[in-house]
Chain A
Amino acid sequence: MNKVMYLEFERCIGCRACQAACRECGDHEGLERNYVDYIDFSENRQTFPMICMQCKNPACAQVCPANAIQITPEGVVLSASEEKCIGCRNCTFACPFGIPKFDFEKNKMYKCDMCYDRSKHDIAPMCASVCPSDAIRFIDHDEMMQLRRQRVQMNMIEGKKPSQDDKWNYVPEFFGVYSD
Chain B
Amino acid sequence: MSDRYFYSTAAKWSFVGFTVLVLSTWIASAGFEHVDMALFGYYIAAVICMIGMVVRLTLFFARPATSQVLKRSLKQMKAEKKRASKAVAATTVNNIVLQKFIWERGWYRWTQHMLIAWGCLGSFAITFGLTFQWMRFDLIDIETYQIVVFNIPTIKMAAHGLFAELVYNGLNITALMLLVGVLMALYRRINDQDVKVTQRFEFDILPLLMLLIVTVSGLLLTVSYVFFGGFIHHELALFHQLTVIIFLCYFPFGKLFHLPVRPMAASVPMNYREVEADETRVCAGCGTRYATDNQVEDVQAILQAQTIQLGLSDGTQLSDYCQPCRRSMRVKMQLNLMNGQLPTHPVDTNTGMSMPGFGRPKETKGEAKDETPVR
Q: What residue in chain B is nearest A76 (Cβ atoms)?
A: B350
> Given A62-B308, A65-B66: A89 and B272 within 8 A (CB)?
yes
Q: Is the CB of A84 within 8 A of B258?
A: yes
- A160 surroundings in chain B (CB, below 8 A): 336-337
Q: Is the CB of A176 within 8 A of B264?
A: no
Within 8 A of B (CB), among A120-178: 145, 149, 157-162, 165-166, 168-178
Kindly state whether residue A2 has any CB partner on chain B within 8 Å.
no
Question: What is the 8 Å Cβ interface bit string for chain B, positions 252-279, against chain A (1 contact, 0 not)?
Answer: 0001001001101100100110000000
Q: Is the CB of B272 within 8 A of A88?
A: yes
Stretch in B36-44, B191-199, B221-229, B236-244 touching the partner = B191-199
- B355 surroundings in chain A (CB, below 8 A): 53, 173, 175
**8 tightest A-B CB contacts, nearest first:** A98-B323, A98-B326, A107-B101, A86-B265, A159-B336, A158-B335, A159-B337, A27-B197
Which residues does A use to contact B, with CB under 8 Å?
4, 9-10, 26-27, 29, 35, 37, 39-40, 48, 50, 53-57, 59, 62-67, 72, 75, 78, 82-84, 86-90, 92-99, 105-108, 113, 116-117, 145, 149, 157-162, 165-166, 168-178
Q: Is the CB of A26 within 8 A of B372?
A: no
> Given A37-B324, A93-B296: A158 and B336 within 8 A (CB)?
yes
- A168 surroundings in chain B (CB, below 8 A): 356, 372-373, 375
Kindly state whether residue B183 has any CB partner on chain A within 8 Å.
no
Stretch in B81-89, B137-145, B357-365 touching the partner = B357-365
Q: Is the CB of B255 within 8 A of A39?
A: no
Stretch in B10-18, B26-34, B127-135, B299-307 touching the partner = B299-307
If over half of A's interface residues share one DSSP class (helix, strand or loop), that class is named, otherwise mixed; here it is loop
Q: Is the CB of A96 within 8 A of B295?
A: no
Q: What residue in chain A is nearest B327 (Cβ atoms)?
A: A98
* Cross-chain pairs A/B with CB under 8 angstroms, 7 sampled: A40-B337, A65-B66, A67-B65, A88-B69, A94-B319, A159-B335, A175-B349
Q: Is the CB of A39 within 8 A of B347?
A: no
- A89 surroundings in chain B (CB, below 8 A): 272, 291, 295
Q: Is the CB of B323 within 8 A of A92?
A: yes
Q: Is the CB of B351 within 8 A of A87?
A: no
Report Cα–Cα, A105/B321, bound state, in Å.
Answer: 24
Within 8 A of A (CB), among B308-343: 308, 310, 318-319, 321-328, 330-332, 334-338
Number of A-B contacts (CB under 8 A): 209
Q: Which of A55, A116, A169 contacts B349 (CB 8 A)?
A: A55
Q: Is the CB of B268 within 8 A of A94?
A: no
Q: Is the CB of A116 within 8 A of B197?
A: yes
In the assembled complex, the CB of B211 is this many whole angstroms from the nearest CB of chain A, namely 14
Kindly state whether residue B104 has any CB partner on chain A within 8 Å.
yes
Q: Is the CB of B194 within 8 A of A27?
A: yes
Q: Is the CB of B69 within 8 A of A62?
A: no
Q: Which of A27, A67, A78, A96 contacts B358 (CB 8 A)?
A: A96
Q: What residue in chain A is nearest B301 (Cβ atoms)?
A: A63
> Given A50-B327, A59-B303, A62-B303: A171 and B373 within 8 A (CB)?
yes
Which residue, of A53, A54, A82, A90, has the highest number of chain B Cβ atoms within 10 A? A90
Q: Which of B328, B330, B335 contacts A170 (CB 8 A)?
A: B335
> Given A93-B299, A94-B319, A105-B104: A157 and B336 within 8 A (CB)?
yes
14 additional contacts (CB under 8 A) given A35-B327, A63-B299: A27-B194, A39-B332, A40-B337, A55-B348, A62-B306, A66-B66, A84-B261, A117-B197, A159-B335, A169-B356, A171-B373, A173-B334, A176-B350, A176-B351
- A177 surroundings in chain B (CB, below 8 A): 350
